[in-house]
Amino acid sequence: MSTSPTADSLAGLVRDGRRFWASPGGQAVRQAERACLGPVCERLFGAHSLELGMATSLADMCPVRHAMRWAPTRELAEHPSTLVCPPDALPLPDDCLSLVVVHHLLEVVPDPHHMLQEAARVTADEGFLIIFGWMPLSSAALARAWPPRRRRLPWRGHWRTPARLRDWLAFVDFEIERVDYCGFHLPGSLPRNAMLETLGRRHNLPLGDSYMIQARRRPQLVQPQGTRLSFARPFGGSALGATRLGQRFESEQERMTEGD
């Protein structure tokens, strides 16, 4: 089966990302970020969630019955519930997910604005939109000063501050509830220093390698069902099976409604 140039490019990006997240440095950052996400999962109760990222699952501790992952091609799908589609054209209904996690993708995808719009569109009114990003002012950012490194993950792409993403989220009628920083370490070492991590997390110092944004839809701007803006899905049936998964998702929701 042929794939589009965009899908091929994303597939190469995901392969590179998986190699980084499987490395000792990637695993150390992932563990720190998973510790940040844990308290959010303790307050979360829902039926469906989606993770958009390149690392192994962060939210596997969350009590969500139907947890979906994302991949740009079938070959990279690691689980039957993987959503295979472009990240800016999700074949899911509006307001259907209790948790959406965007894990270090906004820095590197071709159209981060539209991807964020899609992630916001599918997040339920009472759900959480979680964004992980690299902190531009951190020990990890110092390594980006050497230009050749910017062609490799995790240093490539555009690193944006939480303040910048606050403006982006306001555009899609979301607001930041909290920003947590994680991955604290001395320059040249891995973020595995328990004392530094505890100190940084306790005082929430903006000095970690990465940050976690918790965002929710603005209550005063919630619109009645059926009046939400509809985003174009130019990929349609070429989303490599994603449309079929979305139909099964809607059928499951209908069965749950009838059971209630």
Find out if CATH 3.40.50.150 is the number for domain 8-217.
Answer: yes
Q: What is the pLDDT of residues 7-39, one digit of tens each?
A: 899 999 999 999 999 999 899 999 999 999 999
Q: Which two tokens stand for residue 89?
A: 């054209």
pLDDT of residue 17: 95
- pTM score, two decimals? 0.81
**Band of pLDDT at residue 224, cut at 50, 70 and 90:** low
**Cβ contacts of 147-154, under 8 Å, gap ≥ 24:** 152/16, 153/13, 153/16, 153/17, 153/19, 153/20, 153/108, 154/20, 154/26, 154/104
Q: What's the Cα-to-Cα distance from 123 to each of 85, 90, 105, 150, 175, rounded to whole Å?
A: 17, 12, 17, 32, 13
Q: What is the pLDDT of residues 47-63, one digit of tens each?
A: 899 999 999 999 888 88
- Distance between terminal CA atoms of the chain? 41
Helix residue spans in 43-126 (DSSP H): 112-122
What is the C-alpha separation between 171 and 55, in angstroms, rounded? 28
Least confident of 104-108, 164-168, 227-231: 227-231
* Domain residue ranges in the chain: 8-217
What is the C-alpha separation between 109 and 54, in angstroms, rounded? 12
Return the higher-pLDDT residue of 90 and 80.
Answer: 90
Mean pLDDT (the chain, rounded): 83
Phi, psi of 126 (to 5 degrees): -100, 10
